[in-house]
Structure 1
Amino acid sequence: SSSSSSSSSSEESEAEGMGYWMDDVGYWTDIMMRRAVEIQRTFKPNELAAVFWSLGALQASSSSSSSSSSSSSNSCRLLTRLEFGTAGLRGPMGGGFNRMNDLTVIQATQGLVAYLKEVKKNCHESKSISIAIAYDHRASPQHDLSSKRFAQLAACVCAFAEVEAHLFRGFTCTPLVPFMVKHKAMDAGIVVTASHNPKQDNGFKVYWSTGSQIVPPHDVNIKNSIDANLKPWAKYEPDSIEANPMCKDPTQQITSLYFESITKALCRYPSLNGKSDLKIAYTAMHGVGERFIRRAFKDFNLPPFVAVKQQGSPDPTFPTVAFPNPEEKGALDLALKTAKENGCSLVLANDPDADRLAAAELDANNDTIHSFTGNEIGILLADWQWRHFKRANPSMTDYSNIYMLNSTVSSKMLRAYAQAEGFQYMDTLTGFKWMGNTAYQLAKEGKSVLFMFEEAIGYAVGDVVLDKDGVSAGAVFAEMAASLRREHKKTVHQHLDSLYTRVGYFLSHNHYVRSNDQKIMGAIFDRLRNGGKYWFKCGDYVIKSIRDLATGFDSSRKDQKAILPKSNVLTYEFTNGCVITLRPSGTEPKLKYYIEHAGKDPGCTLKELHSMARVLIMEMLQPIKNGLKYHLP
């Protein structure tokens, strides 16, 4: 009954000093979202009992009308918990166990802190625990939720548990946290951001002491620790946390150290940069990046860029773009317009938390625009890094300890470039967490990683940050473009063509099919695996090797055992050099495919790529039979 519910709940709250109600049998719904957020913060027994009664009736109603879309949404919120994985938490802001809100952030932080303490105890370490925390500008005014509030709550949990919280003040770009964790030997880092997700989303990204995002077994262990620490440990007061002696302010020191570090490690022509006549337009995509990239340009002694005014200030509504991802069609339209109006030949763009970089080049002579793909930017920056490494080490002839990395779905042009130049190449699973942790291990072995990238416009130039960094990459790309223009009278696109001529034209067709039916997705992979009797042909194209990370099979190796960790990723390499990789998306109901073909003639290579892509898509995915919308080149 209402009275017994309020009585028992009140006694529990008073006994444990809880300021937040939390119980798996409670129900939050769409129409109660705002009220649910308020209930989390201020426990009012009588009011909560009434809400229980109303929501119980609503849930019963929802259960009897399963065809209702609101019923499905309510059930998702009420009956599932926002899952903690290798990217931490990410989801829409609002009320419910399956949403980003005060409670889910408190639970995640408590789980992380408890796990860190367990790790320290098992390692017999007495050193105090410290966590770096930063946040972007995302907010949901409707629910009085924001990245800042979530970060403050995370700091509250740390302070209560006698863990040092190094909380950045003000909106901060993501790369500063992995930088701080690495260079200040922190135990972990938290960034509250949803990167380039839709405006209603937020996230809780976790870094380990390596300075990279968490990988197994830490992700599973933290998840289990969260489940064991669901009840808030205290009544947290986020508005006053910055005055707590356990809450430090690293902003000025770490920001200065970051820019000093990237300038020292990555700026090659500070005096010549100041004489550059290259004009660049820049957009922060309504995110936090502009003041950071402006500082990077200043420290590299590059001329100031022309900012896209409509997108320069942090704005959580992202008013000028449908989707705040520089890769999305139309996202760079305002930047390109600004570039044309101001005579700029280069456009640079960060995603909202400034860990990714996009670029486009305008040719005024023939009125053309080339938007560089992530793979193209990757090989351009790789070549830049390699040429300057060789220039700095002219007597070195043994490159066996020099590495570059990219993800397994990124271009194999980096592999061909490494083979031609004599340094080492490695690929990893998709996601920068795998590259960052691999780079950390290689460094422990005395090896040097010059560059890492993924095709989804993420780059780590050098080893200053072991995660993607759109700020340093932006400054390096601008310096590279200025140098090409000054020394070689080349555009960036012309230099890319010269790399293609040297290494080969590596052209790609990357896309996806979408299905909400997981059975269809599973059936596609089951058919391709064929019970371990893998295909040897697809259409008329002969398969040279197969790597199936789900089963650990790799036919290209003598022992036929894959090196990379287990994952639902299938890769086929054909006798003509074409490579296709298929994997399910980790965040959306999509099956993604990446097709790349290489050759010496761009026209013939593109024609063969398109021909193969049409066969591979139709044969492997069977989109018509499976009722999938598909895209053919």
Structure 2
Amino acid sequence: MVLKGHRMLLIILDLFLCKTTRGHVFLPQNPKTVSMVQELVKEGAVEALKKCFSSRMEFGTAGLRAAMGPGTSCMNDLTIIQTTQVVLITLRSGGVVIGYDARAHPPSGGSSKRFASLAAAVFISRGVPVHLFSDITPTPFVPFTVLHLGLCAGIMVTASHNPKQDNGYKVYWENGAQIVSPHDKGISQSIEENLEPWPESWSTEEALKSPLLKDPYQDIHTQYFKAIQKHCHHRDINKSSKVKIVHTSVHGVGHTFVQSAFKAFDLHPPYAVEEQKDPDPEFPTVKYPNPEEGEGVLTLSFALAEREGATVVLANDPDADRLAVAEKQESGQWRVFSGNELGALLGWWMFRCWEKLNSDAAAVKNVYMLSSTVSSKILRGIALKEGFHFEETLTGFKWMGNRARDLLDQGKTVLFAFEEAIGYMCSSSVLDKDGVSAAAIAGEMISYLATKSSSLSQQLTAIYEEYGYHISKNSYFICHDQDVIHSLFDRLRNYSGQKDSYPTECGRFSISAVRDLTTGYDSNQPSNKAVLPTSRSSQMITFTFSNGGVATMRTSGTEPKIKYYTELCAAPGNSNVTHLKKELDDLVDAIVDNFFEPEKNKLQPKPE
């Protein structure tokens, strides 16, 4: 049914104020959300109302992520309750843990704390014990709590590094990892079938008084830092280290927890960027609260480092599950390490520490490291020489976390996992990326290198010299139009006008193999069928080139982006970095010029 003008506005408002149609119920429980709709109606904002009410958020990437506001396409009291009711229906018996960050949206009355309280009310209304954190926590605390307390699920209310108006709802299963199929698909389908909120789901005040509600904050704070201390190997060095480190939480939750992590490792506390130390949902000092964006987010950190004589900057994203690192070079310039470069450093360090503790040479056959398919293959290079196992998974820690769980259940040691989007799992106590433990472990690595008169940059060069240079170049285009995205990827799949007729060359570069994890096609397999899981709900094609280059194009699961990832690998001993970088630059230029045309003029390039 298509409605126009004021008739549509009146019907939307009528629905929102308690009327129902086809089972949809919109209840005015939050006066601020109602007020937003009334204002939009008063202004005749047809397009804005359509955007709010014409579609429903998709439950994917282990949960929800969208702007806070009214309507089925936004994060609000009603959509939180609807989602939580379905999560509850799909659970096995047992308790759940709920955490939240500091995000808030005053115009709509939405906030992470309120959403967490509503989710708790839903579970308690059906007799499910709830461990609701009494204060903000980093995301890693939720999967840690699931495992530590043996719970059946965990929920974290956060939008991580997304813009300030957004929020999210991330779900972990009883194995401590983010949910994957069939649970995520089952939840998504069931939401549409169970839209009416239970009356008691709104009763947050009663829920907060229930004996079924417990606060795990103090216990988990103690147990988490005990768990990560197992990865501290150089206390004497840590105590005597003269290295000065700056840390920023980018207005998120990370400050208190990183300070505690450094204390657990006997490291000198890092200098905190005062302007960004405390949680602030407005993120007033940054355009994007995402340290992955690089220098623009780290300007205040660099200024503090210069004043204090610090040589390293650590940065967490707002929910502290990611970590960025920058180091001052001899030239006086700051080098912001890419996610792949930091993955190489942390992977090398984790193996070196493990090796120090394990004298049995045969034990290495039981060790695994993981990375996502769009991340650098440097861990594969290290594994080939050192004798441990390396595996790649689909993009995202939901895949790495679940694979790690499988390996742990088989008695294997999962030492490290990472993705190029500055996500690192340095401890199997948390089967997800964890920027808090990664910060402390990076701090110890930095202190150790200093005793050897070495730096992160120097050690990274040493890693590449020993295991082979892995040069990466990643970026993205912004695109809000799904038709444009589908047109681009469909053209690549039908390059010569026939099905599965992918490009065989890109400029001067010859293509030797194609893997399409949207359709399940893989030219490297005898049956042309991909080994890794496929998903038609997202776009992802990988091209392997005859010169050893690999390029993956994919859509983001949480942002309106078409991302591309490229890497050129050289054998150990090949140190002609200048040539490798030039070859990769030329390859990237060819990909942008050939694969992103003719849609390029409809795409917005990555902001400088």
Give the TM-score, by structure 2 length: 0.90
Q: Distance in 2 between matches of 1:187 and 1:20?
A: 36
**Which residue is equivalent to 1:587?**
558
| Cα distance, 1:228 vs structure 2 | 2.9
Maintained 8 Å contact 2:369/2:417: yes
Inter-CA distance 559–424: structure 2 relative to 1 (3 Å threshold): farther
SS of the residue corresponding to residue 362 of structure 2 reads coil
Unmatched tracts of structure 1, length 5 or more: 1-9, 11-18, 41-47, 63-69, 121-127
Maintained 8 Å contact 1:28/1:78: no
Maintained 8 Å contact 1:27/1:78: no
Maintained 8 Å contact 1:34/1:142: no
**Which residue is equivalent to 2:181?**
216
Q: Deviations over 1:175-210 (max 9, x none)?
A: 000001122221000111111111111111111111
| Structure 2 residue 65 is the aligned partner of structure 1 residue 81 | no
| Structure 2 residue 203 is the aligned partner of structure 1 residue 237 | yes
| Cα distance, 1:249 vs structure 2 | 1.1
| Cα distance, 1:320 vs structure 2 | 0.6
| Cα distance, 1:76 vs structure 2 | 1.6
Inter-CA distance 24–130: structure 2 relative to 1 (3 Å threshold): farther
- The amino acid that maps onto 1:390 is E
Inter-CA distance 177–632: structure 2 relative to 1 (3 Å threshold): closer
| Cα distance, 1:130 vs structure 2 | 0.6
**Which residue is equivalent to 2:33?**
37
**Which residue is equivalent to 2:407?**
442
Q: Deviations over 1:2-41 (max 9, x none)?
A: xxxxxxxx9xxxxxxxx99474578989xx998463589x
Maintained 8 Å contact 2:484/2:602: no
RMSD between aligned alpha carbons? 2.7
| Structure 2 residue 507 is the aligned partner of structure 1 residue 534 | no
Q: Distance in 1 between matches of 2:32 and 2:191?
A: 21
| Cα distance, 1:316 vs structure 2 | 0.9
- The amino acid that maps onto 2:222 is S
**Which residue is equivalent to 2:148?**
183
**Which residue is equivalent to 2:293?**
328
SS of the residue corresponding to residue 399 of structure 1 reads helix
Q: Distance in 2 between matches of 1:515 and 1:281?
A: 35
Maintained 8 Å contact 1:112/1:225: no
Moved more, 193-202 or 239-248: 239-248
| Cα distance, 1:451 vs structure 2 | 0.4
The one of 465, 471, 474 aligned to 1:510:
474
Inter-CA distance 110–548: structure 2 relative to 1 (3 Å threshold): same
**Which residue is equivalent to 1:227?**
192
Q: Distance in 1 between matches of 2:84 and 2:388?
A: 41
SS of the residue corresponding to residue 142 of structure 1 reads coil
Q: Distance in 2 between matches of 1:257 and 1:538?
A: 53
**Which residue is equivalent to 1:14?**
none
Q: Deviations over 1:568-600 (max 9, x none)?
A: 321111121110001122233332111111233
SS of the residue corresponding to residue 496 of structure 1 reads helix
| Structure 2 residue 585 is the aligned partner of structure 1 residue 610 | yes
| Cα distance, 1:632 vs structure 2 | 13
- The correspondence of residues 4-19 of structure 1 with structure 2, limited to 5 A, is none
| Cα distance, 1:83 vs structure 2 | 2.3
- The amino acid that maps onto 2:76 is N
**Which residue is equivalent to 1:16?**
none
| Structure 2 residue 268 is the aligned partner of structure 1 residue 303 | yes
Inter-CA distance 417–23: structure 2 relative to 1 (3 Å threshold): farther
- The amino acid that maps onto 2:33 is V
The one of 217, 221, 243 aligned to 1:278:
243
Q: Deviations over 1:284-336 (max 9, x none)?
A: 10011100000000010001111100000111111111111012241000011
- The correspondence of residues 66-215 of structure 1 with structure 2, limited to 5 A, is 70-116=45-91, 120=92, 128-215=93-180
- The amino acid that maps onto 1:494 is Q
- The amino acid that maps onto 1:522 is H
- The amino acid that maps onto 2:81 is I
Which of the pair has more CA radius of gyration?
1
- The amino acid that maps onto 2:453 is K
Inter-CA distance 33–375: structure 2 relative to 1 (3 Å threshold): farther
| Structure 2 residue 536 is the aligned partner of structure 1 residue 572 | no
Q: Distance in 1 between matches of 2:582 and 2:195?
A: 56
Maintained 8 Å contact 2:380/2:390: yes
Q: Distance in 1 between matches of 2:21 and 2:185?
A: 21
Q: Distance in 1 between matches of 2:346 and 2:50?
A: 47
- The amino acid that maps onto 1:246 is L
- The correspondence of residues 444-593 of structure 1 with structure 2, limited to 5 A, is 444-486=409-451, 488-530=452-494, 531-567=499-535, 568-593=539-564
Q: Distance in 1 between matches of 2:100 and 2:550?
A: 39
Maintained 8 Å contact 1:279/1:305: yes
Q: Deviations over 1:434-455 (max 9, x none)?
A: 1101111111222221100001
Q: Distance in 2 between matches of 1:33 and 1:495?
A: 57
- The amino acid that maps onto 1:88 is G
Alignment size in residue pairs: 581
Q: Distance in 2 between matches of 1:309 and 1:137?
A: 17
Maintained 8 Å contact 1:404/1:452: yes
- The amino acid that maps onto 1:548 is D
- The amino acid that maps onto 2:135 is G
| Cα distance, 1:355 vs structure 2 | 0.4
Q: Distance in 1 between matches of 2:479 and 2:174?
A: 38
Inter-CA distance 387–20: structure 2 relative to 1 (3 Å threshold): farther
Unmatched tracts of structure 2, length 5 or more: 1-13
Q: Distance in 2 between matches of 1:277 and 1:498?
A: 23
Q: Deviations over 1:87-110 (max 9, x none)?
A: 311111122222111111111111
| Cα distance, 1:550 vs structure 2 | 2.1
Inter-CA distance 628–285: structure 2 relative to 1 (3 Å threshold): closer
Q: Deviations over 1:511-561 (max 9, x none)?
A: 122333333322322222221233332222222222111232222234433
Inter-CA distance 297–447: structure 2 relative to 1 (3 Å threshold): same
**Which residue is equivalent to 1:43?**
none
SS of the residue corresponding to residue 397 of structure 1 reads helix
Q: Distance in 2 between matches of 1:316 and 1:37?
A: 18
Q: Distance in 2 between matches of 1:393 and 1:87?
A: 36
Inter-CA distance 281–24: structure 2 relative to 1 (3 Å threshold): farther
| Cα distance, 1:389 vs structure 2 | 1.4
